Amino acid sequence: MSNGTAGNFTGPVEAIIFDNAGTIVDFGCIAPVMAFVEIFKRRDVDITVAEAREPMGAAKRDHIVQLVAMPRVAEAWKQAHGDAPTEADVDAMYADFLPLQVQCLTDYSTVIPGTPDLFANLRKEGVGIATTTGYPSEVMDVLSAKLAEQGIVPDAMVCASDVAHGRPYPDMCLTAAMKAGVKNVKACVNVDDSAPGLEAGLAAGMWTVGLACSGNEVGLSYDEWTALSDGERDTHFARARKGLDATGAHYVVPTIGDLAPVLADINRRLAAGEKP
């Protein structure tokens, strides 16, 4: 896989690398949040949904590490247990997280609207489809089966547990590109709803597109989102966009349903000799 120079690569896009929860499935990225809240509750420590969301995009064990390092959570843990959480505590919570997350997927595995049509069009155009996820392989095996039931089967899939470093490192994006048979990294587009996911795509030298409204930044279910007025949705988008824009992402749009014009523009820019 080459990284070339601006003058000798003019496209087109060869592959799109999608995150899973909040990007193509589980509108609002609800499943992991519920699991994180519950594993702390089982240890007599209450964390808020906002706290549970803050490290989103990281590998799930790393996510727990970041949660217990938060000053308020660390103090609540000390009040409940008399001391700071240990590596053994983190390991035990992660062990509990895996089956709990699988259980949550029963309720939060619906494909986000716009995904099937986009995937079908990418197939027709010969564009590769790969996915990455902060879920470990044990969880993703279950989710992959549920996605397949809805017609979503990527050409390649990479879990955080498959690589040395999770997001924001570029490991998953680059591994997915290689699995998809991409010839030039500038021909890849990384699509994610989280800041660490976008930072990973940028670190990999790819075009990056943030999805502001279907994932962690807004955090509403599809029913809650569609119940909002146009003005309320615009307000949420404007706020969420600021957080994703701050990563340096090339584009930020509301959901995967808004991606087709972005891909057309990336092809235009590639044809003009631009690079990510």
Does 234 appear as a known binding residue?
Answer: no
Q: Read off the tokens for 123.
A: 């197939």
* 93 and 228 assigned to the same domain: no
Q: Per the domain annotation, does 276 fall within a domain? A: no
Q: Per the domain annotation, does 1 fall within a domain? A: no
* 10 and 86 assigned to the same domain: no
| Residue ranges making up the domain that contains 69 | 31-105
Q: Give the count of domains, the chain.
A: 2
* 135 and 88 assigned to the same domain: no
Task: Please give the chain's pLDDT, 276 residues, in tens.
Answer: 655 444 588 889 999 999 999 999 999 999 889 999 999 999 999 999 999 999 988 888 999 999 999 999 999 999 999 999 999 999 999 999 989 988 888 789 999 999 999 999 999 999 999 999 988 898 899 999 999 999 999 999 999 989 999 999 999 999 999 999 999 999 999 999 999 999 999 999 999 999 999 999 999 999 999 999 999 999 999 999 999 999 999 999 999 999 999 999 999 999 999 999
Neighbours of 117 (CB within 10 A): 12
Does 96 appear as a known binding residue?
Answer: no
* 11 and 118 assigned to the same domain: yes
Q: Which of 172, 243, 233 minimizes the C-alpha distance to 18?
A: 172
Picking from 85, 105, 125, the residue at the C-terminal end of a domain is: 105
pLDDT of 1: 61
Residues 6+ apart with CB under 8 A from 242: none
Q: Which of 231, 225, 223 minimizes the C-alpha distance to 213?
A: 225
Q: Per the domain annotation, does 56 fall within a domain? A: yes
pTM to 2 decimal places: 0.87
> 41-64 burial string, b = 16+ CB within 10 Å, else e?
eebebebeeebbbebbbbbbbbbb
pLDDT of 6: 43
Picking from 78, 105, 132, the residue at the C-terminal end of a domain is: 105
Domain of 72, CATH number, reads: 1.10.150.240
Residues catalogued as catalytic: 19, 60
pLDDT of 57: 81
